[in-house]
């Protein structure tokens, strides 16, 4: 890219999914300085004529090979500590994406590799720049969102069982939920989920009803996150 301007804006992404029963974050291994060889959140510089959401989606595709997110994407926050980037004065606008399980990413651009890394296995303080702080904020936002919105379904395929949805909550919150109480709350909350009229094989061969996300944007009452 050549010399960096005295003031620049980047877009970084906290991309979360549930894989093999674990909450995982999408990380790229930096292939160039600074922090060459370190894990980092996917992201990069915003073009002079580029809108911020477009930059976030473009960087996700360029650095990982993943298409435009099919789940949920929202702005997380902005980070502008003067010394956060050794290349100069760089402010980043971070985004949070909640996606269903996707294929393994393919690194591109200035990333040496890309992978889904289980959050529980990521040692603190290992990410480049201030990405540990951004990731922590993204995790807390995601956990809070699941309490008062139906966004847990963003981690699921278009059609899912209540057991699959419960697995998302248990994975993201790191706790066990009573299956009967969870089923009653999910199916009894207006607009949370909608039956699709079909069933699939459930545990021990018993049919399990399939649902899709309902029209609700807020949960009344909210899901109670164990503390």
Q: What is the pLDDT of residues 34-72, one digit of tens each?
A: 999 999 999 999 999 999 999 998 888 877 777 666 678
Q: Which of 92-96, 180-184, 198-202, 221-225 has the lowest mean pLDDT?
A: 198-202
pLDDT at site 145: 94
Condensed to tens digits (0 to 9), the pLDDT of residues 168-202 reads 999 999 999 999 999 999 999 999 999 999 998 65
- With 70 as the cut, is the pLDDT of residue 3 above it? no
Question: pTM to 2 decimals?
Answer: 0.89
3-state secondary structure of 173: helix
Q: Give Cα separations from 60 to 49, 99, 115, 170 (angstroms).
A: 18, 12, 12, 27
Structure confidence at residue 213 as a pLDDT band (50, 70, 90): very high
The CATH class of 151-213 is mainly alpha
Domain residue spans of the chain: 8-147, 151-213
Which CATH superfamily groups domain 8-147? Nucleoside Triphosphate Pyrophosphohydrolase (3.90.79.10)
- CA 147/CA 139 separation, integer angstroms: 13
pLDDT at site 109: 61
Condensed to tens digits (0 to 9), the pLDDT of residues 120-130 reads 999 889 999 99
3-state secondary structure of 135: helix
């Amino acid at each position: 890219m050549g010399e960096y301007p005295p003031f620049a804006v980047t877009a970084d992404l906290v991309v979360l999914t549930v894989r093999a029963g674990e909450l995982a974050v999408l990380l790229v291994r930096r292939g160039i300085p600074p922090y060459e060889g370190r894990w980092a959140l996917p992201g990069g510089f915003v073009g002079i004529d580029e809108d911020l959401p477009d930059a976030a989606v473009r960087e996700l595709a360029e650095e990982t090979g993943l298409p435009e997110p099919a789940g949920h994407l929202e702005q997380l926050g902005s980070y502008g500590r003067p010394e956060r980037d050794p290349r100069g004065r760089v402010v980043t606008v971070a985004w949070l994406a909640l996606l269903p399980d996707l294929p393994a990413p393919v690194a591109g651009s200035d990333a040496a590799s890309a992978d889904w890394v289980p959050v529980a296995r990521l040692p603190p303080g290992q990410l480049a720049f201030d990405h540990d702080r951004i990731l922590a904020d993204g995790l807390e936002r995601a956990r809070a969102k699941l309490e008062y919105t139906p966004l847990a379904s963003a981690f699921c395929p278009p059609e899912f069982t209540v057991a699959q949805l419960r697995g998302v909550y248990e994975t993201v919150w790191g706790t066990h939920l009573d299956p009967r109480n969870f089923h009653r709350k999910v199916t009894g909350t207006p607009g949370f989920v909608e039956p699709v009229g079909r069933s699939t094989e459930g545990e021990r061969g018993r049919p399990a009803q399939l649902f899709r996300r309902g029209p609700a944007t807020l949960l009344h009452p909210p899901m109670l996150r164990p503390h």
